[in-house]
Structure 1
Amino acid sequence: MSDQRRNVVQGAWANVSTRSKKVDGSLASKKGMVTFDVRKTAEKNDNASSGSNLVKKSSFQFENVELPREPSFRTINQSGDYIISDEPNGQSRIALVTNFIDSSECGWMFDQLNDELSWKQHEVHRIGKTYMQPRMTAWIGNVPYSYSGITHKCQCWNPLLTMLKDTIENKTGHQYNSVLANLYRDGHDHVPWHCDDEKDFDTHPSIASLSFGDSRIFELRRKPYKNEHLKSLKNDALTDADYLEYIKIPLNAGSLLLMEGAVQLDWQHRIVREYHDRGPRINLTFRSIIDR
């Protein structure tokens, strides 16, 4: 191969031609090439293999790194009492009764609640934004109730609500003086993640949730308090990736769900939006408001 073709094929390395000489163990190239001392390199390699300090080997220090944990999902669909967490705030307990109201009674109760309660869709003011609440609500009690910039005016108790309240109190052993009624018109109506920890409640409130109409999925997620950094953040600063424990509970017509203990301190809950066909649902959340 000619020198000219070698330059085309090998580029700059073609400058190392057959005319290069071996001088004192070095490969001397034309001007611009680096001198490579074969003898000295061989000595360094020998010294390195014999434990000499002439060549320092790179060292790597491996540390135990905690990999992100996958979230866990649990479904509760059987009647029973459940302790879902036990933290410094106390035990978080829920109880589910799937057939608290007989299915033969649920239809007329839904119709009467739908007709007799004064339903209203409120504007929500939160984090500098205003939007329409994605459901209809009614507040029944002796004192007003406020959250997310909404103040509910009191409606009077009717005979059906009074009967349901008395029945739930006898079953749970708790006393209630108010109820927030929610009307979900279809699957698009929902409740975003929240906890009922307003100053109007006791720190460990008991909330009894009674459902009529179509079934919906009620979800709980545990607050990430075990991470010291996350403890200092407000709920609005957390992302979905910070929550690692979820519970799903299908709520059918006639089912009663009781939340008590530290549930409102250590967990959030929601009714998830569903995009397939869902009929209307009424949910009654009995609670006790502190009359200040």
Structure 2
Amino acid sequence: MLKLKAVSEPTNPNPSDNAKKTQRLDLGSGSEVLYIPKFLSYDEAWKFFDYLNDHIPWTRPTIRVFGRSCLQPRDTCYVASAGLPDLIYSGYQPKAYSWDDFPPLKDILDAVHKALPGSRFNSLLLNRYKGSNDYVSWHADDEKLYGPAPEIASVSFGCEREFLLKKKPGASSQERRSDGEPMSKRVKKSNLVDQHSFTLKHGSLLVMRGHTQRDWLHSVPKRAKADATRINLTFRHIV
């Protein structure tokens, strides 16, 4: 398993600003993960957590998985800029709220853009994990509306949860399809070198870049000790 390399965050001109450090993980073949454990200060992150927990119109929708209807194992909400294509996943189309509906979300978006110069996120999927049995299964955010090499920024609040990455079957350069379409999302056993784990801390930022969605799967599994609430904001760019 590859080890993260911690370096000083070059995008932060103020060294006293939360002592931000960026950890970079090169997954190979143009895929990269960045992780900033102290993206937001501890107290600031709790203020955002309380606002999100109390003011976001959370819903737990019915989705379709392998042809069967089931209750999604986490709460969700969707925010997007005007004029974007509708988001549809697992047979569910969430209502798209405006950024103006929840002003603190724009403050978090501005902080993400400042930390990631050149990024231009225009949509946000919020998820709330209310305990150890809430989770997200193995998947890749490789829908066509995100483009061929999407950048996805994930900000976490509350309970620490484990975030796993696992290489897709047949994702080596020799086996990729020449047209760049996503590979099958089926999961099979892989070597340890093709698996990585992060503990996403309160106030942290994790970024998946390059071909991570094409070549890798990720998940937040059930964990018996994760008995408190976690809120996660996943910023994306819809093309």
TM-score range for the pair, normalised by the shorter chain length: 0.7 to 0.9
Matched, 1:235 2:174: no
Q: 1:140 aligns with which of 64, 76, 79?
A: 79
Under a length normalisation based on structure 2, what TM-score does the superposition of the two structures give?
Answer: 0.82
Question: What corresponds to 1:167 in structure 2?
Answer: 111
CA distance in 2, matches of 1:217, 1:233: 25
Q: Establish whether residue 84 from structure 1 lines up as the match of residue 34 from structure 2.
A: no
Q: Distance in 1 between matches of 2:219 and 2:196?
A: 11
Q: Which SS does the other structure have where 2:207 is aligned?
A: strand
Q: Matched residue of 1:203: which SS?
A: coil
Sort the Cα spacing of 1:175 and 1:228 in 2 relative to 1 into closer, same or farther, 3 A.
Answer: closer
Partner of 1:255: 204
User: Which residue of 2 is the match for residue 205 of structure 1?
Assistant: 150
**Matched residue, 2:122:** 177
Where does the alignment leave 5 or more consecutive residues of structure 2 unmatched? 7-20
Query: How far has the Cα of 1:135 moved from its partner?
Result: 0.1
Query: Is the CA contact (8 Å cut-off) linking 1:122 and 1:150 kept in structure 2?
Result: yes
* Inter-CA distance 194–171: structure 2 relative to 1 (3 Å threshold): same
Post-superposition offset of 1:149: 1.1
Cα distance change, pair 100–267 in 1 and its aligned pair in 2 (3 A): same
% of aligned pairs identical? 31
Q: TM-score, normalised by structure 1?
A: 0.67
Please tell me the root mean square deviation across aligned C-alpha atoms, in Å: 2.3
Query: Cα 1:243–1:197, aligned 2, differ >3 Å: closer, same or farther?
Result: farther
Question: Moved runs in structure 1, 4+ residues, more than 6 A?
Answer: 227-233
Total equivalences in the alignment: 213
Question: Match for 2:184: what amino acid?
Answer: K
Cα deviation 1:28-61 (Å, max 9, x = unaligned):
xxxxxxxxxxxxxxxxxxxxxxxxxxxxxxxxxx
Provide closer, same or farther for how the CA distance between residues 77 and 132 of structure 1 changes in structure 2, counting only shifts above 3 A: farther
Partner of 2:136: 191
User: 2:138 touches 2:219 (CA, 8 Å); kept in 1?
Assistant: yes
1:153 equivalent in structure 2: 95
Indicate which of 139, 148, 169 corresponds to 1:224: 169
**Which whole-Å CA distance do the structure 2 matches of 1:75 and 1:271 have between them?**
20
Shift of 1:276: 2.5
Give the 3-state SS of the residue equivalent to 2:93 in structure 1: strand
Q: How big is the shift at 1:277?
A: 4.6
Structure 1: state its 5+ residue gaps. 1-72
Give the counterpart letter for 2:225 in structure 1: H
CA drift of 1:122 comes to 1.1
Q: Which has the higher helix share?
A: 1
Aligned position for 1:42: none
Code of the residue aligned with 1:235 in structure 2: it is K
Deviation at 1:228, TM superposition (A): 7.4
From the CA coordinates, give the structure whose radius of gyration is larger: 1
In structure 2, the residue corresponding to 1:235 is in which secondary structure? Answer: coil
Alpha-carbon distance in 2 for matches of 1:170, 1:119: 28
Contact 1:76–1:247 (8 Å) recurs in 2: no
> Quick one: higher RCO (CA 8 Å, sep 6+), 1 or 2?
2
